[in-house]
Structure 1
């Protein structure tokens, strides 16, 4: 019932939006505040027995997987056989248990040197989402087959209790957005607007080319383009430089060579130690100038400050990362609530995590930094588009 209520509210909000583009396929995004996990809601099953299922957003997962015991009726599920093209396309020649197709992939919460894998049966059913086009209020639409795998409850370790599985959003061959694009023959792209509270938006098909009251009426929020690199299912952007309050951060250029990974399961951006220390030093200097005193004991954060006479001022510093644009460097700006986390009435912390000297990626951009931006992944152009901070336009992803 709760899931249905969420969807009704989401549809009523979207009914006020006027589009100037082709069809969009839409899902809500919810934030589970205690865990900082973001999830969406889809319906699985036939019209008479469809079930609402909450799924964790994961840019690193290919095939969607979930605890199928949360589906009210399993009668419409169809097992994918080893001999089928679908099985061979997903798993190659190794994903079989007798005649049943199996799928194995890592947990979204990998620990260093501790790889957990999921081995589950691949199945198909019908999925139900929303669509809208040319100003028409959102309506419900379904597609079949929706291919996913059934996980056991123990595989949900680390995932918040309202969530029943993981929706695959990586750049592989069978993520959810690609199945939607194929089913409805729309442009292969999707966009996320992660909310800081309430309900955000997950678009597939047409995304950034719309004109809504939410994003500025007749003046849509500008979008900046940068190349999108796809490596083993990861989404990477090339960072050319880092700035704090317009001043170039002294970072060894070799640390920037691997690109920064985008993540929807890492709550706070993780930085290689040298990069983190340079950012923290600049942040600490600016905090001290504003009369803040440093305090400790607020894990996972290393640098926290009592606001003191400065009051509730979260605009301590502005961070920008330089990215390749159309023949010139473009900048992605993070400031205010995207830079700090308030941990008490009087204490704010630098909302970044020290990832050590030799992490797998020098920078993993987490959800705290991504929330309240519109971010589009366009596979027709291999580009990432990101908006201005929506706070600069007196709006947000939260509706």
Structure 2
């Protein structure tokens, strides 16, 4: 009996030691997260799939680089045991800068509860905003070491906004909301960095097919063997003092990403233009922002005329063909040599901090193939983008076509942008991240 008691005591002792050892082991904390992004062929939108709720379900969202936060449709099919509305005057409402509080008498259900604070989710594709309930739920993404995806990690209480189904109008098929990557405190980059205690940085690398978004610092390794986090050119990120969202609370600044363009060059020659328009005014007009929601570079009318006149002059030896809407300047593609950086057309440069620092827009990012052997300059007149108001809010918008196959790193803590230039020059593309999991 004593022999038996000895082994019982020994077993109990070992269990205690093992449990202490297990509890002392640190939980897995990723250094970065990775999210694949695919360009929808019918809409041109960049779509990603996250996992949300309990139990986890895949949710497709349209990526909005300058969006305020994650919003999803809660009106149809939102089922989750971990959904929590944010109560009025709570810390969550304060963090989200919510200044609206109210009741919903057809609930309780996701998106409709009493004594909750609200925000104004914004569909930036069709420029439509509405009201929605601020809430929390589980969100899961894959971790990464910079080379491959790793294990899936979860944020138990990620803040997002519920929206009604009608706000999905104009979004890609199957999409249930929009993922905002803007500078707000509840934008995905800030929330994910806070949840896992990594640096407040994220990077996007979009292409005409597949691309990738990283949350956290590099390395960002692309096949065949390129760490794109090294060799970036850095410039300051600027703040527009007035929100550029469709709806916002008074006094809010913009969460979109602005940079300081000093001048514009075409084929190494300065384009004559009113440089005052390149500055952000106190009432929020002017400046240069980066957007993946705007499909093409869009310019204030006088800047558009100056840049396109300079481009046509620089390519005067090449005959033009009939315009193809929405573009005005088109050519037969056979009249241009094809190079590693796209068609050999006049180089467009956005001059940044100094004359030696510029964002160079080569043929792959300036020309758009519209079919039948025709290519057009992918720049739009801003007055035609908003024909109802004829008001051009931002003087220069660097659109989705211009940022494809360029890696852009947004450092929110240091308020700076790192950009790679066109990756074709490094013999890689944004579609070359290895999504073969090693988990």
- The TM-score by the shorter chain falls in which range? 0.7 to 0.9
- One of 340, 343, 355 as aligned partner of 1:314: 343
- One of 58, 64, 69 as aligned partner of 1:58: 64
CA contact (8 A) 1:271 1:362 kept: yes
Residue-by-residue CA offset, 1:276-335 (whole Å, 9 max, x unaligned): 11221222234441x333312x2111111234555767221211111116xx74111111
CA contact (8 A) 1:222 1:388 kept: no
- Report what 2:372 is aligned to: 345
TM-score (norm 1): 0.85
2:307 matched to 1:269?
no
- One of 402, 405, 411 as aligned partner of 1:378: 411
SS in 2 for 1:36: coil
CA contact (8 A) 2:132 2:163 kept: yes
| Long gaps (5+) in structure 1 | 1-21
Distance in 2 between the 1:213 and 1:170 partners? 25
| Long gaps (5+) in structure 2 | 1-29, 104-113, 241-252, 281-286, 384-389, 433-439
Distance in 1 between the 2:166 and 2:148 partners? 43
Distance in 1 between the 2:182 and 2:46 partners? 15
SS in 1 for 2:120: strand
TM-score (norm 2): 0.77
From the superposition, tell whether residues 263 and 305 of structure 1 become closer, same or farther in structure 2 (CA, over 3 Å).
same
From the superposition, tell whether residues 35 and 191 of structure 1 become closer, same or farther in structure 2 (CA, over 3 Å).
same
Distance in 1 between the 2:228 and 2:171 partners? 39
CA contact (8 A) 1:190 1:202 kept: yes
Residue-by-residue CA offset, 1:235-294 (whole Å, 9 max, x unaligned): 1101011111211111222222222011121000110112111221222234441x3333
- Report what 1:190 is aligned to: 202
SS in 2 for 1:324: coil
- One of 181, 201, 206 as aligned partner of 2:217: 206
Count the aligned residue pairs: 365
CA contact (8 A) 2:228 2:420 kept: no
Could you tell me how far 1:218 is from its partner in structure 2?
Answer: 7.1
- Report what 1:248 is aligned to: 270
SS in 2 for 1:228: strand
Distance in 1 between the 2:328 and 2:162 partners? 39
- One of 323, 326, 332 as aligned partner of 2:359: 332
Could you tell me how far 1:90 is from its partner in structure 2?
Answer: 1.8
Distance in 2 between the 1:241 and 1:353 partners? 18
SS in 1 for 2:343: coil
- Report what 2:309 is aligned to: 281
Residue-by-residue CA offset, 1:24-43 (whole Å, 9 max, x unaligned): 11111111122111122110
Could you tell me how far 1:185 is from its partner in structure 2?
Answer: 0.7
CA contact (8 A) 1:221 1:388 kept: no
From the superposition, tell whether residues 65 and 219 of structure 1 become closer, same or farther in structure 2 (CA, over 3 Å).
closer
Residue-by-residue CA offset, 1:202-236 (whole Å, 9 max, x unaligned): 111113xx263527447876210001012221211
Distance in 1 between the 2:418 and 2:136 partners? 32
SS in 1 for 2:100: coil
The answer to which of 302-311 and 240-249 deviates more is 302-311
> Where do residues 121-136 of structure 1 align in structure 2 (5 Å cutoff)?
121-133=133-145
Distance in 1 between the 2:348 and 2:335 partners? 24
Distance in 2 between the 1:110 and 1:219 partners? 33
The structure with the larger Rg is 2
> Where do residues 10-25 of structure 1 align in structure 2 (5 Å cutoff)?
23-25=31-33
What's the Cα RMSD here? 2.4
SS in 2 for 1:155: helix
From the superposition, tell whether residues 156 and 305 of structure 1 become closer, same or farther in structure 2 (CA, over 3 Å).
same
From the superposition, tell whether residues 59 and 91 of structure 1 become closer, same or farther in structure 2 (CA, over 3 Å).
same
CA contact (8 A) 2:365 2:403 kept: yes
Residue-by-residue CA offset, 1:41-76 (whole Å, 9 max, x unaligned): 110023xx2111111111332221111356663333
Distance in 2 between the 1:277 and 1:167 partners? 34
Distance in 1 between the 2:394 and 2:186 partners? 25
Residue-by-residue CA offset, 1:154-212 (whole Å, 9 max, x unaligned): 11122222321111211111111111001001111111001121x211111113xx263
Distance in 1 between the 2:31 and 2:260 partners? 31
From the superposition, tell whether residues 71 and 337 of structure 1 become closer, same or farther in structure 2 (CA, over 3 Å).
farther
CA contact (8 A) 1:54 1:162 kept: yes
Distance in 1 between the 2:361 and 2:346 partners? 9
- Report what 2:53 is aligned to: 45
